Homo-oligomer: A and B are copies of this chain.
Amino acid sequence: MRQTGIGLRAALLAGALGLAAAAPARAADDGEVKDFLLDNGMEVVIIPDHRAPIVTHMVWYKIGSADEPPGKSGIAHFFEHLMFKATTNHAAGEFDRAVSEIGGSNNAFTSYDYTAFHETVPPSALEQMMGFEADRMRNLILTDDVIKTERDVILEERRSRIDGNPQAVLDEEVDATLWQNQPYRIPVIGWMQEMEQLNRPDAKAFYDAYYRPNNAVLVVVGDVDPNAVKAMAERTYGKVARGPDLRPRIRPVEPEQNTKRTVTLTDARVSVPSFSTQWVVPSYHTAKPGEAEALDLLAEILGGDNRSRLYQQLVVKQGIASEAGAYFQGTMLDATNFTVYGAPRGDAKLVDIEAAADAEIARIVKDGVSDDELERAKTRYVRSMIFARDKQDDMANMYGSTLATGGNVKDVQEWPDRIRKVTADEVKAVAARYLVLDRSTSGYLLPQQQAGN
């Protein structure tokens, strides 16, 4: 689950999730966030930001790989690709060219819980972007030929991005070992043997079910007048007919884990060994009040950056690790993962790095965190919010990912306050409750000659 983003355009999502976890923020400085529904059920969030003459326009569909039917893995990501094909109104490539010609940028990404499309352009081009997006929401031409050609693209993408990359191969099997029932066990890009079978009826059924205004969130951040944006949205997206109601996104739930699990990939292409250990933990959407916030701060204190315990102890003090850290992916619709990772420096043994990391985890479970340490972690959060507000697309990602995973605008806005309220006892409690080594899943990437490491 580490690599959540997928597509030609994955870089951004990695940023998006990192940001979603690290950058709670209030409304931008120069205007109130406006949030409303169009008559056809499409949700619209507008965040004015007048520092530069630019606007970020995103459409988030509440459909991701974890919503795919059994045996059809990869269809959500495949559909992200198909959205760049011809519609009844525009030839393939026309949208991309229009963005380039005005000096803008565009992209898309698919994750477990959502698929998003975005453009950053001068405000004068916003309505044109909306027109293009609204058009491809319903008017794609899905021929067998289009399907076959683009299917070859995603198959090649899988070969190069996953099968050619030992870390990615390992990550897939770690995910499928950590998650034994919940659909996050299935890779976003899909299993090869299922991707090969994806066809036009699959794509058509997927399009008709999920690419609908009542399953989409529009996020606009930038140098715009909210009322003007609302009028534009009504003239463009507002014309798209509401689709059938969607069933609630109730997915198979993970059973309680009772075992310690390991997954080891030994590969001649690996030069430096590494490990990661993960636990199933609640997300912001599934957690009891305050638990996800405490997990965010636990990740920050344990392994968030260079001042974290893992980094200070393993990299700086003991000098045995080249890297060591922890992260928590809170912005997920279902239960998510908390991860600790590390890699040795020089001749250090991987088992020693892992033992040192385990000792840090044990220490935090037993003794908790200090008030001082907690305050510093909170301060780093607040600071990261300020940075986040500086970037339109980070802001758009934060709102979009929250709204696409069961949250609302208020959740985003009140996040800093909820982070501030977390106590040291609460951080200790989530560490003790969730970071149990006998119920964890570890992945090991080993060079061929160090198989016995």
Contacts and interface: CB of A to CB of B under 8 A. Distances in A.
Nearest to A265: B259
Interface of A: 70-71, 73, 169-170, 173, 176-177, 180-181, 183, 185-186, 191-194, 250-253, 255, 257-266, 438
Given A176-B180, A185-B180, A265 B255 contact: no
Contact of A194 (B180, B253, B262): B253
Given A191-B181, A253-B193, A173 B71 contact: no
A71 B251 contact: yes
A260 B453 CA distance: 14
B265 A70 contact: no
Contacts of A70: 70, 183, 251-252
B180 A173 contact: yes
Contacts of A264: 259-261, 438
Contact of A186 (B169, B181, B186): B181
Given A71-B250, A252-B70, A261 B259 contact: no
A177 B251 CA distance: 20
Contact of A258 (B185, B186, B251, B265): B265
A266 B169 contact: no
Contact of A262 (B173, B250, B261): B261
Closest 5 A/B residue pairs (Cβ): A176-B180, A71-B252, A260-B264, A262-B262, A191-B255
B177 A261 contact: yes
Contacts of A192: 255
Contacts of A194: 252-253
A257 B264 CA distance: 11
Nearest to A260: B264
Nearest to A175: B180
Contacts of A253: 71, 191, 193-194
A259 B252 CA distance: 25
A255 B192 CA distance: 7
A71 B177 CA distance: 18
Nearest to A183: B70
A245 to B, nearest CB: 18
25 contacts: A70-B70, A71-B250, A71-B252, A169-B258, A169-B259, A173-B257, A173-B258, A173-B261, A176-B180, A176-B181, A177-B177, A177-B180, A181-B186, A193-B253, A193-B255, A194-B252, A194-B253, A259-B263, A259-B265, A260-B264, A260-B265, A260-B266, A261-B262, A264-B438, A266-B438
Nearest to A253: B193
Contacts of A261: 173, 177, 261-264
Contacts of A181: 73, 176, 186, 191
A250 B251 CA distance: 21
A176 B186 CA distance: 13
A45 to B, nearest CB: 31
A447 to B, nearest CB: 13
Contacts of A177: 177, 180, 261
A342 to B, nearest CB: 19
A262 B440 CA distance: 12
Contacts of A252: 70-71, 73, 191, 194
A84 to B, nearest CB: 27
